A and B are shown apart, each in its own frame.
Chain A
Amino acid sequence: MTDTFSEDEVLTAAEAKRETRRRMLADFWFYFSENRGAVIGLWVFLALVVVALLAPVIAPHAPNMQYRDSVLMPPVWQEGGSWTYLLGTDAVGRDMLSRLIYGARFSLFIGVIVVAIAVSGGVTIGLIAGYFRGVVDTVIMRVMDVILAFPSLLLALVLVAILGPGLTNAMIAIAIVLQPHFVRLTRSSVFNEINREYVISARVAGASPYYLMTRTLLPNCLGPVTVQATLSFSNAILDAAALGFLGVGAQPPTPEWGTMLADAREFILRAWWVVTFPGLAILITVLAINLMGDGLRDALDPKLKRS
């Protein structure tokens, strides 16, 4: 045997790697596609992502452009509607459709950032609690219990009140509120895994606590965390909309769905479209993501697999 590998040996290794990855993906898709709701959710979510990415191209108007001569114009299919403003205009003459399209950007952005903060923080804290146990674990878990004891929206509201209103602070507040779920989930997974023999044998081989936590334990604890992350994604969007509606999230004139709802409150009887469409947008997005999360759980959790 030579020290270096010949080219085709390396090639077959890379091919084998690709092959196993492809097979795992096919396996995953098989279980995921069993759940029709999940597949629909996935397509809706993908459509939303495309819309959000291409917002400047798709949107017929600028989101904050006020057309003063066409205030509160109804959608196109209703009497008095116009093809210029497909879903009508709001109280200051801004095109609803364009604002909704740009709103998708904010919602997805909020989801991604909040989940990223909550997952990275929660998983790190959970790993530490699960690995060290004892006093460290007790202290961490009691703090998390305190956070969980508050109604989540109320706590987010308090945090925003302390940090000051605004989209960034709202996202931080929501991330803090969602974090304990990830801590608990990771900790319980670590408890399950840490006494397994592969962890002990890594320790016998001389792995440091950091290596054990990041390389040995973490990949085996990520399954449930992934599912929780998708479900938290929709929670984050919902909470951000609620905070926006209460006036402490995104500030006007940001075309954020919750903020749009709050602005439209007074016209609820006169112009149904200004409240209905942002509400529908939130509903459809959250529903799609939840359906997708359910399918993901079924596909990733071997206990739920039907063989």
Chain B
Amino acid sequence: MKIILLKIALIAVISFGLQFFLPWWIIVIVAFAIELLFGGKTSLSFFSGFYGIFIYWLIYASIIDIQNGFLLSKKIAALFHLPQMPLIVALVTALIGGIVAGLGSLTGNLFRKMFNV
């Protein structure tokens, strides 16, 4: 249990650091690399990437959203036909980021499993 929390935290923090210089998909590589390094149960490996990015993106987007008074997120919601409620777009952002990072961490885990470690 501890190890998954550590993986989540590492994915969030390292992605946060690298995303300032590198394209958005670096989150997938970070999630992949962390699972590759730490390994663990394959059934849980999706969630290290998922929660790492979900939490990080949700917090980041929510802070911006609140400071902006939900002005832009409402317009983006209208653009994508989402309900125009505070934080909905932040939640969708985090979900999408989480899913793609989760696939990254799952892939990393499976890669490690190929070598039976």
Do A and B assemble together? no
